[in-house]
């Protein structure tokens, strides 16, 4: 079936798109990593061998497999092969503790685990027993090597028609606020994303997407999936490195990027950034963490092509989009709700708030998770229903709509500081700090206070060679903010603690401040 006819269908499988491109443009490059490059025909044949091997090993539609490894062609083939066999994919973060990995493997009900050498070493070093068969990627010495496990060349799997509600993936939350939760996406959700991106994302057969975020992250998948679905080329980086990224972008004439804010920051901070030829870029995307207005402006000024910021959650629900190149006066916002997405703001009692007032962001769309895997209570806690019974997902973020319908995020609800009865939004203080010429990045958190309940403290990374001390910087900030917003302390640090996808781990900052003792 041709790709145009396939995309007209109300439901489809990403693996079928790869097959369609293999038939129509067999020699076109599909996937490239540090070691090899596969055309669509070669990649499709490898995906067939993976699917056939899964079926040989007894995996049935609805079963799951887990992958925990750095990005590679093998990883991509396992992902697509699982989908072709009707198997749900549970991509796991290699940065997780061995105990957390063991818990996620068990929770996902994975029948097989695909691991690379670093993950295998971590599991064995921690004494984690093999509860499911392991397949070694990238030369990992365990169970069977990937090449030996594969079905023979020329193998074709049995066809597995999609069923309504069939699971595409189980993506685990970071676990920074407790045990990781498995977020279930079905094929219908992913198909809706593909069809929407086909119309608005600028992807196509001539697209070249450089993937520099890990494949276990939904951030990555919302770029990886449409590139392959629409016949483009995916270039995989197993680990982000700013210089290497720029070299690959120039060499492969990259057209699309999905990067998290800290990656944009590190790329633009390079003294040689402007020497690279990035004129091939058509569109750059950002999500997963706040992208400051100043950084957006710098990207627009120095990096060719458009810039789109997505705001949403892996759980789905509702998303906002800001085409920064079209709305340069709205860079402080995350844009408007996407077409067909219903975003509302509610107060602590679950009542909707009017335009201009602050509330928690909740969202509804046709890209909404089925729920948390095997955790109905946590699923229910994440839901909000309007008066008509319409289901929304709660984001935990606090924001405000302006008169033009653009959403400004204030903070995570749990990060809001209540000091002496006043609400303080850390993002307001961070915005002030970011205006200082010596500040590279910063984070503000609330710490316990005997006098005020909570009080704001800032953690700041300075530029190299900066000539300002912590107390002088604190006084500079406090001279520009209201009395209730003043920083009680400011600490300089070499770097901010971040998750593997670039989110600042504010809980670690809170816990590490003065040993967690309350201030006066």
Which pLDDT band, with edges at 50, 70 and 90, does 517 fall under?
A: low
- Rg, the chain, Cα only: 23
Residue 172 has a pLDDT of 93
**What are the pLDDT digits (tens) for 25-40?**
999 999 999 999 999 9
Query: What 3-state DSSP class applies to 412?
Result: strand
**What are the pLDDT digits (tens) for 65-124?**
999 999 999 999 999 999 999 999 999 999 888 888 999 999 999 999 999 999 998 888
**Token pair of 440 as six digits:** 């590279």
**What are the pLDDT digits (tens) for 471-494?**
999 999 999 988 889 999 999 999
Residue 413 has a pLDDT of 82
Cα 346 from Cα 227, distance rounded (Å): 36
Cα 449 from Cα 519, distance rounded (Å): 5
Residues contacting residue 371 through CB under 8 Å, at least 6 positions apart: 184, 379
Nearest of 431, 427, 434, 432 to residue 410 by alpha carbon: 427
Q: Please, what's the b/e burial string for 116-133 (b: 16 or more CB within 10 A of its CB; e: otherwise)?
A: bbebbebbeeeebeeeee
**What are the pLDDT digits (tens) for 152-169?**
999 999 999 999 999 999
β-bridge pairing 336-337 and 320-323: antiparallel
**Token pair of 415 as six digits:** 């990060």
Residue 109 has a pLDDT of 96
For the chain, the distance separating the N- and C-terminal CA atoms, rounded to the nearest angstrom, is 70
Residue 136 has a pLDDT of 96
Residues contacting residue 493 through CB under 8 Å, at least 6 positions apart: 459, 460, 461
User: Measuring CA to CA, how many Å separate 238 from each of 73, 76, 150, 214, 383?
Assistant: 10, 12, 22, 7, 35
């Amino acid at each position: 079936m041709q790709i145009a006819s396939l995309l007209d269908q109300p439901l489809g499988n990403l693996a079928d798109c790869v097959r369609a491109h293999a038939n129509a443009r067999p020699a076109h490059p599909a996937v490239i990593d540090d070691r090899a490059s596969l055309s669509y025909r070669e990649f499709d044949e490898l995906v067939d061998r993976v699917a056939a091997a899964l079926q040989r090993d007894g995996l049935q539609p609805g079963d799951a497999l887990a992958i925990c490894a750095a990005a590679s062609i093998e990883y991509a083939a396992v992902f697509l092969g699982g989908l072709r066999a009707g198997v749900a994919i549970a991509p796991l973060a290699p940065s997780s503790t061995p105990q957390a990995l063991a818990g996620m493997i068990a929770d996902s009900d994975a029948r097989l685990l695909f691991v690379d050498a670093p993950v295998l070493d971590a599991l064995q070093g921690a004494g984690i027993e093999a509860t499911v068969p392991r397949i070694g990627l990238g030369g990992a010495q365990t169970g069977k090597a990937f090449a030996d496990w594969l079905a023979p060349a020329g193998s074709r799997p049995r066809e597995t028609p999609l069923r309504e509600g069939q699971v595409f993936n189980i993506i685990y939350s970071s676990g920074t606020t407790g045990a990781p939760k498995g977020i279930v996406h079905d094929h219908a959700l992913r198909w809706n994303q593909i069809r929407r991106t086909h119309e608005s994302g600028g992807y196509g057969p001539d697209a070249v997407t450089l993937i520099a975020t890990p494949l276990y992250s939904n951030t990555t998948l919302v770029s990886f999936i449409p590139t392959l679905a629409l016949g483009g080329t995916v270039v995989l980086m197993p680990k982000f490195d700013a210089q290497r990224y720029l070299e690959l972008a120039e060499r492969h004439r990259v057209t699309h990027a999905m990067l998290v804010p800290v990656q944009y920051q590190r790329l633009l901070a390079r003294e040689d950034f402007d020497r690279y030829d990035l004129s091939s870029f058509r569109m750059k995307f950002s999500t997963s963490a706040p992208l400051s207005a100043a950084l957006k402006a710098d990207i627009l000024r120095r990096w060719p092509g458009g810039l789109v910021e997505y705001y949403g959650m892996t759980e789905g629900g509702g998303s906002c989009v800001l085409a920064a190149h079209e709305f340069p006066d709205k860079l402080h916002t995350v844009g408007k709700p996407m077409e067909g997405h219903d975003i509302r703001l509610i107060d602590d009692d679950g009542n909707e708030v009017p335009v201009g007032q602050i509330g928690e962001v909740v969202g509804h769309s046709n890209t909404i998770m089925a729920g948390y895997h095997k955790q109905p209570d946590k699923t229910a806690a994440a839901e909000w229903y309007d008066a008509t019974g319409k289901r929304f997902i709660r984001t935990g973020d606090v924001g405000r709509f302006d008169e033009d319908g653009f959403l400004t995020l204030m903070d995570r609800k749990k990060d809001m500081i209540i000091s002496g009865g006043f609400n303080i939004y850390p993002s307001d203080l961070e915005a002030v700090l970011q205006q200082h010429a010596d500040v590279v990045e910063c984070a503000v958190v609330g710490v316990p206070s005997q006098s005020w309940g909570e009080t704001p403290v800032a953690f700041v990374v300075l530029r190299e060679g900066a000539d300002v001390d912590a107390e002088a910087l604190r006084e500079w900030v406090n001279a520009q903010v209201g009395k209730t917003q003043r920083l009680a302390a400011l600490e300089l640090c070499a770097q901010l603690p971040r998750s593997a996808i670039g989110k600042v781990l504010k809980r670690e900052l809170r816990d590490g401040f003065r040993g967690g003792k309350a201030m006066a």
